[in-house]
Amino acid sequence: MFRVQHLVPQPDGQPPLFNWGNFKVDCLRIDGSEVAVTGRIVEAGPYWQEFMERKPTARMGLSFHIPKEGDGPARVAITAPAAADRPEVRKCSVKAPSDKVIEGGYRITDSRR
């Protein structure tokens, strides 16, 4: 299982929207400092309910670059669920982690422990 949660900034000083989703992992790939995971959504906050209604439910992917000291910034990428202009995300198929983590962060834990 993996969980994505984040705040979505809003204009005009409005409080940010909180969004989240839990995903059942169908692929996990670790290659040194690179991590990729895909899974199908099993629970979601109000902004991702449409992904829960699909049959089968939507698949999403995440990728991370977890740097060693002196190896530059942490990076992340989200491979969003399929939309009218995008095909279904394939198992183990994620974008390369290209977005620098500049604020907040990601926590990766092994829930089996």
Q: Single out the residue of 96, 38, 92, 35 nearest to residue 66, CA to CA.
A: 35
pTM: 0.78
Measured CA to CA in angstroms, residue 20 lies from 3, 8, 17, 47, 89 at distances of 7, 11, 10, 8, 19
Residue 53 is predicted with a pLDDT of 87
**What is the DSSP code string of 52-65?**
HSSSSPPEEEEEEE
Q: What digits encode the pLDDT tens for the residues 4-30?
A: 887 888 999 899 888 889 999 999 998
Q: What digits encode the pLDDT tens for the residues 65-80?
A: 888 888 788 888 888 8
Query: Under DSSP, is residue 94 helix (H, G, I), strand (E, B) or coil?
Result: coil
Average pLDDT on 60-69 reads 88
Residue 23 is predicted with a pLDDT of 93
